[in-house]
Structure 1
Amino acid sequence: MKNHLAVLAPMLLISATPNVLAASVVDLSVKGLITPVACTPSLSNNGLVDYGKISRQDLSVDKRTQLRDQMLDFSLQCNGPARFALIMRDNRDGSAIVNSEIYYGLNLDNSGNKIGLYSLNFDPASTVVDGWSQVYRTDSTTGGVAWSSSSSRSIPIGARSYLGFTDMAGSSAGPVAIQNLSSRVTLETVIAPTSELDLSADVQLDGSATLDVVYL
């Protein structure tokens, strides 16, 4: 009986060893593509929109107040044709009074109240690309895996959706290669009701966002 147990013990140990080893390793792959193409975006007035001093009397006590729209010239120049999309990152994340990827925050007042929000809108009709006769926009909520049918309607740029451009209407093939793009973009800003703000001191509008070029 003892001999029988002595033989079984090493057999069990050997058969279990491969399973232990298989569960103790994992593979890591690092991939990417370095491309010689580079695109440089720019905004007029260094991307600064200043509303100056706003009197509380010009704001609604119990409703949101939309300030006058502001225009900025946007341009993007590449050293060669490139497929790309645009996306914007909110540097004041969590401070917009509406929770949506197309709205960006104006930071908080002295009591931690949300001041308002803004959006940046692209209009294909105000956009010029290379020698195209007309520009259409297309967007992707899947990180570029699938694209919406291209359209001439304006759209706010999102924090989680890619915005690209094509020269074909109704195309879902995504953006096409572009070398030079220029557009006039519209900034829309909304201030929270004054009843929801601490106006015992000046309230500083302090919106900040980063517009990123994503190479496809």
Structure 2
Amino acid sequence: MKRIPTTLAAVLLVSAATCALAASTEGLTVNGIITPVACTPTFSNNGLVDYGKISRQDLSVDNRTQLRDKSLDLNISCTAPARFALIMRDNREGSAIVNSEIFYGLKFDRSGNKIGLYSLNFDPARTVVDALAQVYRTDSTTGGRAWSTSRSNPIPIGAKGYLGFTDVAGSTAGPVAIQNLSSRVTLVTVIAPTSTLDLTDDATLDGSATLEVVYL
């Protein structure tokens, strides 16, 4: 799990206790685990998805337009088998045209209008884990304390929920330990109606997100 926020919270609590100078006392416990295992995620094409120039005529005036799907290969290599999950952080937070943890923003046009959104989708059928015969996905919205029933259908990765993988169908035990994972992930991109955009000049799609490995 991520330990830096826990350490920061502890420092804040200590500072508050020092300033209060109260006669009563309260204990503080700091927990954590330093693991020797390291997992490194790598996207093909350095994680770059380029749609090139998109003509205004190819976009809908009144409705959102879904661009052609794009694919990237994701490889995660660990120094030893490890239980981990994935989460993605939007570096353009607040610019997606739909407010949801599974949608990420493409920034704004010259007038401050939101250009669109995208999602990153994982398909267990296109995911290979070590020597496992089949892979299922499972997710957690409680920081890894509880896990959804593992399934084989695709799922978009979220900015709040953990995404993990297991070889057991219908399991709620969470991810299994993995050393090597490879997956063909799909980027789905949607552009806002042109009637809501300022297209007197080029509008640049500028999405950016960070995929994070969370050790369990």
Could you tell me the TM-score, scaled by structure 1's length?
0.89
2-structure distance, mates of 1:185, 1:86: 13
Give the drift of 1:193. Answer: 0.3
Q: Which residue of 1 aligns with 2:168?
A: 168
Structure 2 residue aligned with 1:114: 114
Q: Distance in 2 between matches of 1:32 and 1:159?
A: 23
Q: Tell me what 2:8 maps to.
A: none
The CA distance in 2 between the partners of 1:28 and 1:91, in whole Å, is 34
Q: Which residue of 1 aligns with 2:46?
A: 46
Name the counterpart of 1:71.
71
Look up the match of 2:23: 21
Q: Deviations over 1:112-162 (max 9, x none)?
A: 000000000000000000010000000000000000000001000000000
For these two proteins, the number of residue pairs brought into alignment is 195
Q: Within 5 Å, which residues of 2 pair with 1:115-130?
A: 115-130=115-130
Written as runs of structure 1 = structure 2, the 5 A alignment for 1:51-200 is 51-200=51-200
% identical equivalent positions: 77
Structure 1 residue 27, shift from structure 2 partner: 3.0
Helix, strand or coil: the match of 1:160? coil
3-state secondary structure, aligned to 2:57? helix
Distance 2:146 2:105 in 1: 28
Q: Which runs of 4+ in 1 moved over 4 A?
A: none
* Range with bigger deviation, 44-53 or 29-38: 29-38
Which residue identity does 1:185 align to in structure 2?
V
Q: What do the CA deviations read for 1:13-45 (whole angstroms, capped 9, x no partner)?
A: xxxxxxx612xx333322211000000000000
| CA–CA distance in structure 2, aligned partners of residues 74 and 144 of structure 1 | 22
TM-score calculated relative to the size of structure 2: 0.89
Amino acid at match of 1:178: I
Q: Which whole-Å CA distance do the structure 1 matches of 2:94 and 2:82 have between them?
A: 33
SS in 1 for 2:23: helix
Aligned-partner residue type, residue 21 of structure 1: A
In structure 1, C-alpha distance between the alignment counterparts of 2:86 and 2:170, rounded to whole Å = 20
Contiguous gaps of at least 5 residues in structure 2: 1-21
Rg comparison, structure with higher value: 1
Give distance in 2, aligned partners of 1:54 and 1:27: 60
Quick one: distance in 2 between partners of 1:60 and 1:102? 23
**What CA distance in whole angstroms lies between the structure 2 residues aligned with 1:63 and 1:167?**
40
